[in-house]
Amino acid sequence: MANTMPAMPGMPAANTLPPPGLSSYLTWHPAPVFLIGSILVTALYLYGVLRLRLRGDKWGYGRIANFLVGMLLFVGITCSGLSVYGMYLFSAHMIQHMMLSMVVPLFLLLGAPITLTLRVLHPAGPGRTGPREVLLAFLHSRFAKVISSPLFTLPLFIVSLYGLYFTSLFDTLMRSTLGHDAMLVHFLGVGLLFFWPVMGVDPAPHRSPYVIRILELFAVMPFHAFFGVAIMASTSVFENVFANPPAAWHISALSDQNTAGSLAWGFGEAPTILVLLVLFAQWSKSDQREAKRKDRKADRDGDAELNEYNEYLAGLAQLGQRSGAAAQAETEAVAEEESEPESEDAVQTESESETVA
């Protein structure tokens, strides 16, 4: 069997690692870039929440919990043994890919970081441009509209699967720590872009009705499923970097590739169901808010909208009655006109009878 891939700087060599398993995946192996970045992002989020609380504004505990879960998952994926084994096993790498693109974004977006930022930042004032104005300008920019459109996010999501794994690009990126880390950031970015307009609670320049969002989810599912099936059905190892796992692990590259395909297929189904549940819950709450808004409006204006609608219906009814009366009068007039010749014929017949007599 050929030698395994040489270890990257900061990564242990494959032949020095114990056989893969849950305990091996959960060992602590911090990646400085991801760990420091996660601490900074989490600190900024909690600082924003604190600013709101000190100002007397509320911020839901559910949003805080979702965001913290998302950050913990991100750290667990990038700063644990899973990240180490992801350099040598396709299955471990696929767990990273699916979690970063399908699971972590859901929790981060439910934490509403953009909304929190907009609420914390103060307007710069008339004629001035501050961080809040820059963020709003971005959200309303043509660039943001393009990258949040399904015409962009769906192809990007699909290309990130087929264009990466079915070409030599994957092996090229795996030759360096920078390429590997950039790939993980890409997975997270693709997931955030795809789910941001679909189910995020943050403002977005492009957000379709709930029915269209559900259709967007179903549109990507066949491509995801076929990707997993294609990997499982392959009879040869098509990622060279995973071709030679250590013999001490007693794992064949082909069986591990099959496991990776199964993971890709499974992750395409489960998170989608979770997102559908979130969408249905948001849809229900949206309907309830709309009903409450209409009730408040009715209380303020004395139900003017309903009264106006009733008056409209009454007007239609009166118009129908007038039309019916006019139609009946016309029918009667026509009937009288048709009866007049008959009367004249009867008089003439009677006159003729008298003459004969």
pLDDT at 24 over 80: yes
| pLDDT at res. 12 | 75
Q: What is the pLDDT of residue 353?
A: 47
Residue 29 included in any domain: yes
Distance of CA 23 to the CA centre of its chain: 33
pLDDT level of residue 156 (50, 70, 90 thresholds): very high
- Residue 146 phi/psi, 5-degree rounding, is -70, -50
Cα separation, 193 vs 191, in Å, equals 5
Q: DSSP for 175-204?
A: TSHHHHHHHHHHHHHHHHHHHHHHH-SS--
Confidence of residue 139 (pLDDT cuts 50, 70, 90): very high
Residue 229 lies in a domain: yes
The model's confidence at residue 104, banded by pLDDT at 50, 70 and 90, is very high
- Evaluate whether 16 touches 71 at the Cβ level (below 8 Å): no
What pLDDT does residue 1 have? 39
Q: Is residue 7 part of a domain?
A: no
The residue range of the domain holding 204 is 14-121+147-288
- Nearest-5° angle of CA 328, CA 329, CA 335? 90
Residue range 170-213, pLDDT digits in tens: 989 988 888 989 999 999 999 999 999 988 788 888 778 888 88
Q: What percent of the chain has pLDDT over 70?
A: 79
- Closest alpha carbon to 143 in 206, 199, 190, 194: 206
For residue 345, tell me if it sits in a domain.
no
Tell which wins on pLDDT, 162 or 268: 162
SS3 label, residue 57: coil
- 305 versus 308: the higher-pLDDT residue is 308
Confidence of residue 336 (pLDDT cuts 50, 70, 90): low
Q: What per-residue confidence (pLDDT) applies to 61?
A: 94
Residue range 227-265, pLDDT digits in tens? 999 999 888 888 888 988 888 898 999 999 999 999 988
Report the half-sphere exposure of 205 (CA within 13 A, side-chain side).
Answer: 17
Domain for residue 334, yes or no? no
- The verdict on residue 269 lying in a domain is yes
pTM of the predicted protein model: 0.78
The count of structural domains within the chain is 1
pLDDT for 150 beyond 80: yes
Sign, Cα dihedral of 311, 292, 215, 141: positive
Q: Residue 283 falls within a domain, yes or no?
A: yes
Residue 339 lies in a domain: no
